[in-house]
Amino acid sequence: MAKALHAVDYLAACEKHPPRPVCAVFGADPFLKRQVLLRIRQAVLGTGEGDISLTSFEGKTAKWSDVQDELSTLAMFGDGKRMAVVEEADDFVSRFRTELEDYVGKPASTGVLVLDLKTLAANTRLYKAIDTSGLLVDCNAPAAAGVSKWLRSWAKQAHGFQLDASAAEALAEMVGPELGLLDQELAKLALSVGPGGAVTVDKVRQMVGSWRARTAWEMLDAVMDGKPAEAIVQLDRLLLAGEHPIAILAQISASLRRLAAATQLIIAGEISGQRVSLRDSLQRAGVKGFVLQKSEAQLRRLGRRRGDRLYGWLLEADLGLKGYSELPPRAVLERLIVRLSAPEAK
């Protein structure tokens, strides 16, 4: 059984993966899913009047007989095919699993069925059947390490400019792993440099980031500079603007985890009788060159004791925001701010 095609790879070369009679698009990233569904629709129906042959069904209320009738009717435009999209199809699949398994084996030649799913287990008969004769596209966000690579590819493919490696890393660091927000920032950069232009890390730092992203970074800087009152003011701005507490934690966690990793490398070196410098530990923990000097200062101020406890504090905050604490979300974040910004105990 082959692994499902990831959305990033599909979008980079969708012409190599034409739609099949049954396509399953699953995963949690809404930006990737929108892009994949758009490419499939364009491939099936074209860009003219073909959309008249597109029918969408609500997964919770759709009946298999109606979907099947739609797929079996010859279209008037496009390639002569109809396209039926079952949105939020998880419940639909549960109710009509047997019918779908049978249909994948003998699909209608007049239509393309697209199942828009949150999840599709790889050990099910339906997954295996679509894997054999259909198209499976995984629309979960790429791993954090792959976001910078995706940014460079998507900047060129979708926005027509070159994004160097350091600029991609800075952009991912500033905005976070939300691909839809990253795409918006790429669109802004494209307007500033024009077709075929090049964007460097200085350009990213100058232009990128909604005020929310910048505020989160300013909050983190205030925390690491030992200014808890200033950090809490920035936190209040984010919360009043509707930013979700989990999203706020996610924006600052990547940097904090690297400081925690650097601390662990220093401690491990001492245990083994080897001295590891701050800079070496930070570089090995994945800190990029453009923030290395600032990270050194932050790690010095954080201190060994708090750096050693940082992983635990981040986990505690994450669980607390997900309901494993009696504290309200704001208090969970405030506690983390105070722990990190208070003077290091002697």
Please check whether residues 274 and 336 belong to one and the same domain: yes
Please check whether residues 120 and 161 belong to one and the same domain: no
Please check whether residues 205 and 218 belong to one and the same domain: no
Please check whether residues 159 and 272 belong to one and the same domain: no
Kindly report the CATH number assigned to the domain that includes residue 314: 1.20.272.10
Domain presence at residue 116: yes
Domain presence at residue 317: yes
Domain presence at residue 346: no
Low-confidence ranges of the chain (pLDDT < 70): 1-2, 48-51, 75-80, 209-213, 344-346
- pLDDT for the residue 50: 61
Q: Where does a domain end: 164, 181, 209? A: 209
Domains identified in the chain, total number = 3
Please check whether residues 205 and 276 belong to one and the same domain: no
pLDDT in tens, 260-318: 999 999 999 888 888 888 889 998 888 877 778 888 999 999 998 999 999 999 999 99
Please check whether residues 104 and 47 belong to one and the same domain: yes
- pLDDT for the residue 180: 87
- pLDDT for the residue 6: 94
Neighbours of 135 (CB within 10 A): 22
Please check whether residues 205 and 245 belong to one and the same domain: no
The answer to whether the predicted template modeling score (pTM) of the entire model surpasses 0.85 is: no
Rounded to whole angstroms, the Cα distance separating 25 from 80 reads: 23
Domain presence at residue 250: yes
- pLDDT for the residue 77: 54
Please check whether residues 202 and 216 belong to one and the same domain: no
Please check whether residues 200 and 216 belong to one and the same domain: no
Instruction: State which residues form the domain around 56.
Output: 5-138
Domain presence at residue 130: yes
pLDDT in tens, 77-115: 545 688 999 999 999 999 999 999 999 999 999 999 999
- pLDDT for the residue 154: 95
Kindly report the CATH number assigned to the domain that includes residue 185: 1.10.8.60
- pLDDT for the residue 242: 82
Please check whether residues 307 and 196 belong to one and the same domain: no
Domain presence at residue 219: yes
* Token couple for 89: 């199809």
- pLDDT for the residue 227: 92
* Residue 175 near residue 208, CB atoms below 8 Å: yes
Domain presence at residue 180: yes
Residues 6+ apart with CB under 8 A from 252: 216, 217, 219, 220, 223
Q: What are phi and psi of 19, to 5 degrees?
A: -60, 145
* Residue 51 near residue 37, CB atoms below 8 Å: no
Please check whether residues 166 and 234 belong to one and the same domain: no
Kindly report the CATH number assigned to the domain that includes residue 69: 3.40.50.300
Please check whether residues 203 and 128 belong to one and the same domain: no
Q: Where does a domain end: 116, 138, 160? A: 138
* Token couple for 289: 């060159």
- pLDDT for the residue 292: 81
Q: Where does a domain end: 209, 225, 250? A: 209
